[in-house]
């Protein structure tokens, strides 16, 4: 099966309707590099053309860019066609001693973007997302610096992450934004529905990239035991995680879920979800 494509917001760029998230390949408990490269190669073979990463998908500040480097290596060693692959990265966090902290200061974003260019071995980043809003820095200042990096040719398209509807409005007043990446799965709708971000993206024609779409590293086992998901999964001959992804994919065509994977079997399962169509009864049960 070849994965269908969807347009990435207003860019006109066609990407696979389901992307690959690189975080589990690079944080604590990560697999050997060869396994991560095998996961990326398998995703590409299956038609995945959207890969999500961040400079902070690593162990700590001494390891920044780990996931970007793994992705660059996987792309460089892939024997098939990689001309349509879009790698999206992010800046705006730090990893002091392995913690996750926010830094949306313009100088930090510039340094992070330039480091990501080197890690990814590209002259321009296809989609650069502000990882989070820094309470100490007006979003206008953070996005303003990203807009400058874009006008310098270092970034092609700009995206946001972990934002609400009001922050999307404030950012878009400063620079053209094409996407929003927030936490969203069938059992956690706070970052998409409750905060108005998904409706805002739909109104503005922006892509919405649900992260942790199968529950995240902590929630994935909970989703795997959800009785409603299990019942619908058994009806479709699928897994509960595949049903969770099919639920997202059926909501609106502007959604591009980015399930993370550190095992080949995980991305194979996620790609299978793209072929599942939930009926009205299924969707009603999951409301």
DSSP state of 2: P
Does 258 sit near ligand NAP (CB under 6 A)?
yes
Site for ligand NAP in 20-39 (CB under 6 A): 21-24
Q: Between residue 144 and residue 163, which ones bind ligand NAP under the rule CB under 6 A?
A: 161-162
CA 183 – CA 233 distance, rounded (Å): 22
Q: How far apart are CA 226 and CA 184, in angstroms?
A: 16
Least distance to ligand NAP, CB of residue 284, Å: 23
Helix and strand numbers (H, E) in the chain are 11, 11
Q: Does 269 bind ligand NAP (CB under 6 A)?
A: yes
Measure the CA–CA gap between 245 and 255, rounded to whole angstroms: 11
Region binding ligand NAP by CB under 6 A among candidate stretches 7-15, 71-79, 227-235, 261-269: 261-269
| CA pair distance 169, 200, nearest whole angstrom | 8
Q: Which is nearer to ligand NAP, 9 or 22 (by Cβ)?
A: 22
**212 binds ligand NAP, rule: CB under 6 A:** yes
Catalytic residue among 57, 78, 128, 211: 57
57 catalytic per annotation: yes
Taking the complex as a whole, the smallest distance from the CB of residue 150 to ligand NAP amounts, in Å, to: 19
| Distance of alpha carbon 56 from alpha carbon 34, whole angstroms | 20
Q: Are strands 5-7 and 14-16 parallel, antiparallel or unpaired?
A: antiparallel
Q: Decide the pairing of beta strands 20-21 and 155-161.
A: unpaired
Of 266, 274, 276, 286, the residue at the interface with ligand NAP (CB under 6 A) is 266
Q: Which stretch binds ligand NAP (CB under 6 A): 9-17, 147-155, 168-176, 255-263?
A: 255-263
Q: What are phi and psi of 274, to 5 degrees?
A: -65, -20
Nearest residue to 37 via CA among 22, 56, 53: 22
- Sequence-distant (6+) residues with CB within 8 A of 62 are none
Does 120 participate in binding ligand NAP (rule CB under 6 A)? Answer: no
Site mask, ligand NAP, residues 39-78, x = CB under 6 A? -------------x--------------------------
Region of 2-10, 79-87, 143-151, 212-220 interacting with ligand NAP (CB under 6 A) = 212-220
162: tokens are: 């972990």
C-alpha span between 100 and 113 (Å, rounded): 18
Is the CB of 221 or the CB of 284 nearer to ligand NAP? 221
| Contact with ligand NAP (CB under 6 A) among 11, 89, 179, 181 | 181
Smallest distance, Å, CB 286 to ligand NAP? 16
Q: Length of the chain, please?
A: 287
Active site residues: 57
Chain residues binding ligand NAP by CB under 6 A are 21-24, 52, 131, 161-162, 181, 211-217, 220, 239, 241-242, 258-263, 266, 269-270
């Amino acid at each position: 099966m070849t994965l269908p494509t969807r347009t990435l917001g207003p860019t006109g760029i066609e990407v696979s309707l389901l992307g690959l998230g690189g975080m589990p390949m690079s944080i604590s408990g990560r697999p050997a590099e060869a396994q991560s490269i095998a996961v990326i190669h398998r995703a590409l073979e299956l038609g995945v053309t959207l890969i999500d990463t961040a400079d902070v998908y690593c162990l700590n500040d001494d390891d920044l860019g780990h996931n970007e480097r793994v992705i660059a290596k996987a792309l460089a060693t892939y024997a098939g066609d990689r001309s349509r692959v879009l790698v999206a990265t992010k800046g705006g966090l730090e990893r002091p001693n392995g913690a996750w902290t926010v830094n949306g200061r313009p100088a930090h974003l510039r340094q992070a973007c330039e480091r990501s260019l080197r890690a990814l071995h590209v002259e321009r980043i296809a989609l650069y997302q502000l990882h989070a809003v820094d309470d100490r820095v007006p979003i206008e200042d953070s996005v303003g610096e990203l807009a400058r990096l874009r006008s310098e040719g270092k970034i092609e398209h700009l995206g946001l992450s972990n934002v609400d509807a009001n922050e999307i409005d404030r950012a878009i007043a400063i620079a053209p934004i094409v996407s929003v990446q927030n936490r969203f799965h069938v059992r956690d709708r706070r970052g998409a529905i409750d905060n108005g971000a998904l409706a805002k993206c739909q109104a503005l024609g922006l892509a919405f990239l649900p992260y942790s779409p199968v529950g995240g590293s902590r929630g994935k086992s909970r989703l795997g035991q959800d009785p409603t998901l299990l019942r619908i999964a058994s009806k479709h001959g699928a897994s509960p995680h595949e049903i969770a992804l099919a639920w997202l994919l059926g909501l609106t065509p502007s959604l591009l879920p980015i399930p993370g994977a550190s095992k080949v079997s995980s991305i194979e399962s996620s790609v299978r979800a793209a072929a599942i169509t939930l009926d009205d009864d299924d969707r009603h049960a999951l409301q």
